[in-house]
Structure 1
Amino acid sequence: MLFENIKRLTQEVEAFEIENKEQLEAFKNTFVSRKGSIAALFDEIKTVAPELRKQVGQELNQLKQLAQQKLDARQEELEQSSTPDVLAGLDFTLPPVPNALGARHPLARTREQIIRIFERIGFNVSEGPEMEDDWHNFSALNFPDNHPARDMQDTFFLSKNPDMLLRTHTSTVQVRVMEHQKPPIRTLSPGRVFRNEAISARAHCMFHQFEGLYIDRNVSFKDLKDTLYYFVQELFGQDTKIRFRPSFFPFTEPSAEIDITCHICKGKGCNICKGSGWVEIGGAGMVDPNVLENCGIDSQEFSGFAFGMGIERITMLKYQIKDLRLFTENDVRFLRQFTGM
Structure 2
Amino acid sequence: MKRFALIGAAGYIAPRHMKAIKDTCNVLAAVLDPNDNVGVIDSYFPEADFFTEFERFDRHIDMLRRKSEPVDYVAICSPNYLHDAHIRFALRSGAHAICEKPLVLNPWNVDALSEIESESGCRIYNILQLRHHDAIKALRDKIAAAPPDKVFDVDLTYLTSRGHWYYVSWKGAVERSGGIATNIGVHFFDMLAWVFGPRRESVVHVHERDVAAGYLEFERARVRWFLSINADHLPEQAKAAGKRTYRSILIDGEELEFSEGFTDLHTTTYADILKGNGHGLDDARTAIETVFEIRQARPVGLRGDYHPFCARLPGLAQAGAL
Task: Give the TM-score band, short-chain normalised.
Answer: under 0.3
Return the TM-score normalized by structure 2.
0.23
Higher relative contact order (CA 8 A, sep 6+): 2
